[in-house]
Structure 1
Amino acid sequence: MSASTPQRHIRVVGLLPEKRAEYLRLHEVVWPDVEARLTASGITNYSIFLLGDRLISYYEYVGDDYEADMALIAADPTTQEWWTLTDPCQVPVPEAEEGQLWADATEVWHMG
């Protein structure tokens, strides 16, 4: 892991109203292996917030190769299985890139 300042990431996705209870239930206890993969890939201080029908995630990345670590998460079989449960609850926001669920927000200010 890098000793430099963590990279802060905020991402946004829509939550289908009819899947709200299911999504919240799933996140009452996130699978330990999913959390372990995130941690091993340099993700810390991860939170997901709910605002109306939008989910807002915040996490910090403390590794040295963000793209490689994200690829490790995406290739993890347990994480893939987790996503088969959570992805159907979500809908892309208009700001999401083509083919993506979550949209990345741009940081415009940080009190450091």
Structure 2
Amino acid sequence: MVQTKQRFAFKMKLKPGCAAEYKKRHDQIWPEVAQLLKEAGVSDYSIFLDEETHTLFAVQKQQGASSQDLGTTQIVQKWWAYMADIMETNPDNSPVSVPLPEVFYLA
């Protein structure tokens, strides 16, 4: 049986003044991170920024794991450490991430 892709959305918080650096780092995302996401079934992944509140809004399609489920891998832990200086993080450097329930969808 083929597993269908699910949409998943969450928010994170960027530190003030770090928008340009956040974009730069994601424009140069490490190939190993991008490959891991694809292999885990994550696709159509976008991150948006509310510049007034420094809130990052992420949405992705997933078939299996979410990007937020990959924290046990060494490359994701290294990416989290790389991003920790510009985002709100947990003690393990993972971004503080809040899942958002879907309340409307127009196909």
Equivalent residue, structure 2, for 1:24: 23
C-alpha RMSD of the superposition: 2.3
Cross-structure match for 1:101: 96
Aligned to 2:63: 62
Letter in 2 for 1:78: I
User: Normalized per residue, which structure has more helix?
Assistant: 1
Q: Give me the whole-angstrom Cα distance separating, in 1, the residues matched to 2:13 and 2:5.
A: 26
Normalised to the residue count of structure 1, the TM-score between the two structures is 0.76
Give me the whole-angstrom Cα distance separating, in 2, the residues matched to 1:16 and 1:46. Answer: 21
Partner of 2:5: 6
Structure 2, unpaired ranges of 5+: none
- Could you list the runs of 5+ residues in structure 1 that have no partner in the other structure? 93-98
Q: Give the letter for the 2:63 counterpart.
A: V
The count of corresponding residues between Structure 1 and Structure 2 is 100
Identical columns (%): 26
Counterpart pick for 1:83 among 73, 80, 85:
80
Provide the TM-score with structure 2 as the length reference: 0.80
Do 2:10 and 2:98's aligned partners in 1 also have CA atoms closer than 8 Å?
yes
